[in-house]
Amino acid sequence: MSLYHSATGSQSPHCIHALGIGKTGAYMVEALLRTGEIEDMLDDPRARFTGLAVDIGEQDMHELKEYAGGFTQRLEEREIPTDRHQVRTVALETPSSEELRTSLNRWREYLKMEYPRYYWNPNYEPWLPADMEMPKPGESCPRAIAKAIYGHYYYGGDKTLEKELDLFVESINKTKLPSMVLVFFSLAGGTGSGMVVDMVRHLSNVKLGRRIPVIGIGVLPFSGDEEHAGGTAALYPVINEIDCMLDDEKNQGVMAVWGDLYKNPFTGGFLALPQEHSWQRLSQYTKTGVPTIRDGLRKGVTRKFVDDSFTRFVVQDYGRLLFKMLRPAGFTGAPHERNISGDRAWTIYDVAKYTHPGVEVLPGEPRGKWREVVGKWIGYIPKWSGLKEGFKTDYIEVNTVGPREMWNDTLQKKLESVLGEYLLDGDDGTLVTTNGEFFDELTCYSNIVIPGVAKTDLTAFYAARDAYDQIEDWDTKLMMHSWLLDLGVILSEQSIRFDGMAGECIWGCACWVVVPHAAIRGDAPGSADITEVQGAHIAPMVQTVVPTP
């Protein structure tokens, strides 16, 4: 809930809190600390910042720990009480197969205590075999194993992760300003995508009681990305599981069988971050040196640029900009303004990079040459946005950042023309553009926010589905799943008992979801655009509208 000044209508500041899962999540929390704006927020005595990063092993936590120490020092230098922030890191040890098996055998007990309506299935068996080889620290972890490790530390033993979530929520509850919680993870990484489906359910639906907007931030892979467990095919179950949370009708189909504990936990919406445009731009900056080192640098620079660009955007104006940006997607409006998004609940947040120091054009060359380069890379937005050809929506928001002397009417018109291809015709489509100045005069890029996206608009969905279809081994497919595995459901497979429905049962009984398998496959008829979804939803109310002269 937001706060407004009754006379001016100005919005109160918002506090941003962050949960990062896996390597990508840890890097995103670190990027927030590096912005510099978080300590500005904490200058307000009502404000707090809460950060939590969870990963298997500590190999990707070092930078976050270092920046967290520097963050505390900066607060002390500014005489801001350090107890206004809390940043914690949790590096989980990989349990042995035997330890994990013990936790898995007790899983029904855990779910029964958590949810009394849980059906105690007599056919239950752990979804992992007893002789499962555990990944070594630093190795990519299959999603099914990441889920089991999360449950081992949330439900079993000392309940390490439940305690961490309690501390996280306790800190948020001390905040005296409206809050938003960002949950960062990689859609391609096994640890992040394997744990998030349960962790965000516990955070949002259990611990926070759905009181505070919880916003999912899923980072998409790029063409130069490392191979993750399951490869491209593993992204297919990830997208389907997230989609069955976001899509109102599909989510109702899951809850019809398994209860409202599985209600969409992303109460503030979900943003998917493609990295391809930035990767294509940044990977061009050098062709010299040792190939493996050069490739590693390119990947690292790409990730850091996308992380930094996103976090710099969300902290602008004390979180107000993020809150306002989410309103057109229908997630942060007042209850009477809320409209459903149906199958179009995804939002694309594309960081489109246009220039890079020393590539194509150099400082001192004519400004016209710089603008020619920028215009060329604006033209690549449709190619690398992650959206399929023909996509249309009613609203796009763009924040372009660059040197004040760079941007002109020619570039503005080129940007509007390119993005206009995504907009509905005439007055049904709206493009909002703003400009900001970057501290480096050689850098120019746009943050492009596109709501009203269906999973079937994502080019990554089709590539992942094709890769998944090439896999014949059932156990391999199971390892790519996470959400609902403890209930016996492999979401992306067809139900055995219920014709045409999704959710194959691991144990051969009647576990399923009331979601057509064709909708999981992306073959069922979908809406044309977001206005069709919302128009159908409000059609009965439109009949009550009173005309005026």
pLDDT digits (tens, 9 = 90+) for 461-480: 999 999 999 999 999 999 99
Average pLDDT over residues 179-207: 97
Residue 442's pLDDT is 83
Structure tokens at 15: 């506090």
Taking each helix axis from N to C terminus, what angle separates 459-469 and 235-246, rounded to the nearest 10 degrees? Answer: 130
Structure tokens at 154: 């949330």
424, 450 Cβ separation under 8 angstroms: no
SS (H, E, C) 465-520: HHHHHCCCCHHHHHHCCCCCHHHCEEEEEECCCCCCEEEEECCCCCCCCCCEHHHH
* H or E element in which residue 371 lies: helix 367-378
Structure tokens at 494: 């067809």
How would residue 1 be classed by pLDDT, with cut points 50, 70 and 90? very low
Residue 273, amino acid: L
- Within 8 A by CB and 6+ apart from 519, the residues are 250, 502
530, 394 Cβ separation under 8 angstroms: yes
pLDDT digits (tens, 9 = 90+) for 19-68: 999 999 999 999 999 998 999 999 999 999 999 999 999 999 999 999 99
- Within 8 A by CB and 6+ apart from 122, the residues are none
pLDDT digits (tens, 9 = 90+) for 58-98: 999 999 999 999 999 999 999 999 999 999 999 999 999 89
With b for 16 or more beta-carbon neighbours within 10 A and e for fewer, the 456-487 pattern comes to bbbbbbeebbebbeeeeeeeebbbbbbbbbbb
Q: Which domains does the chain have, with CATH numbers?
A: 15-100+134-347 (3.40.50.1440), 356-452 (3.30.1330)
Predicted TM-score of the model (pTM): 0.96
